[in-house]
Amino acid sequence: MIKKIKFIIYVLILFIGFNQCNGYEHETIPRVKVNFTIYPDDVNYLDLNHSGGYVYVTGGVAGIIVYRVDQTTFLAYDRACPYDWEDMDAWICVEESGLTLIDENCGSRFNILDGSVINGPAQFPLLNYKTSYDGRRLRVYN
């Protein structure tokens, strides 16, 4: 009986070990470590003090767009386009409307609220990063 219990525990440990999630893997863009903190009240990030505000910051594969949805919600996307991320001229930018993102190099457009493809040759959504906001500090990480 004890051997049977040990065997079951061993199998469960193996199962958990092999099925452990190492984080989100994007279909085309390679994973790089992202972990930084922004203080939206800092003069460098004043555009994040209102809904619809955004800033470009360094990090990720091609830089990161941080976008404020509302009082407590922020989104962060890598500026690398899923279609042509290896092209050094292919950067995602916020369009003038503030509602969509575009890679002017290939013409792909994306929804700013979820990173999904609106049109263009891109078939995959933007690579997004996790955000955590405590009312003072905004953490962007993966």
Amino acid 118: pLDDT: 96
CB atoms within 10 A of CB 22: 6
Residue 14 domain-assigned (yes or no) = no
Q: Please indicate, yes or no, if residue 113 is contained in any of the structural domains.
A: yes
Confidence at residue 7, expressed as pLDDT on a 0 to 100 scale? 47
- Expressed as residue numbers, the domain containing 49 is 24-141
Q: What is the pLDDT of residue 23?
A: 47
Q: What is the pLDDT of residue 1?
A: 63
- pLDDT for 86 equals 85
Domains in the chain: how many in total? 1
Residue 57 lies in a domain: yes
Give the model's pLDDT for residue 115.
96
- What pTM was computed for the model? 0.80
**Residue 133, by phi and psi: left (phi above 0), alpha (psi -120 to 50) or beta?**
beta
pLDDT profile of the chain (142 residues), mean per 10? 54 43 63 95 94 96 96 96 87 94 95 95 95 97 95
| CATH code assigned at 47 | 2.102.10.10
Judge whether 31 lies within some domain. yes
Q: Does residue 6 belong to any structural domain of this protein?
A: no
Q: Is residue 110 in a domain? A: yes
Outline where DSSP puts E strands in the chain: 35-38, 54-57, 64-68, 74-78, 92-94, 100-103, 108-111, 117-119, 128-133, 138-141
Report which DSSP code applies to 125.
P
Query: What pLDDT shows up at residue 58?
Result: 95
* Domain membership flag for residue 17: no
pLDDT for res 92: 95
Domain assignment present for residue 12? The answer is: no
